[in-house]
Amino acid sequence: MNRSLLLLVTAGAGVFAVGCNNSVRDPIQPRQDIYHTSDPSQVFFDSFELRNDTAADTPTVFRDPAGLLHVTVPIRSVIDKQLYVEYRVVFFDHDHQEIDRSPWRDKTLPANLPESISITGTNPRAEFFQVHFRYPTSNEM
């Protein structure tokens, strides 16, 4: 009886584990800079290598008198090496429809020193945003 129950539980756990396999990859979010607190959930990296080489903090956002969003993301190299990265910002309206996308821009991150990127949206309808970081790959826009 105990052996049958053990086999049944083991088989059920195996089916459960296979059924939970999700083929959609999670986005790669930054490591939180331990010297700050908050959740940088609107910042994404294209590789774990870049994530491991940097630390980012929560973006600061404000809207100017013309209604344009200004976004600043604190980021730094956490390795003893100057890094060259690219970033872009995608802006969305209140329905989460994309309304503006900046081109990829270059940023140099000195070794172990605080830096930030700043960008201003071009459409006053922008309410949400995502900031994407990657190591340089090509001249694509």
Q: What global pTM score does this model have?
A: 0.71
Q: What angle (nearest 5°) sits at the alpha carbon of residue 59, between those of residues 82 and 29?
A: 70
What is the share, in percent, of the chain residues with pLDDT greater than 70? 74
**Domain extents in the chain:** 27-134
Structure token pair of residue 117: 């990127």
Structure token pair of residue 9: 């539980």
pLDDT tens digits for range 67-94: 999 999 999 999 999 999 999 999 999 9
Name the pLDDT band for 137 (thresholds 50, 70, 90): confident
- For 27-134, give the CATH class: mainly beta
Q: Which residues pair with 106 in a beta bridge?
A: 86
CA–CA distance, 8 with 27 (Å, rounded to integer): 36
DSSP, collapsed to helix, strand or coil, labels residue 97 as: coil
What pLDDT score was predicted for residue 8?
47
pLDDT tens digits for range 96-115: 999 999 999 999 999 999 99
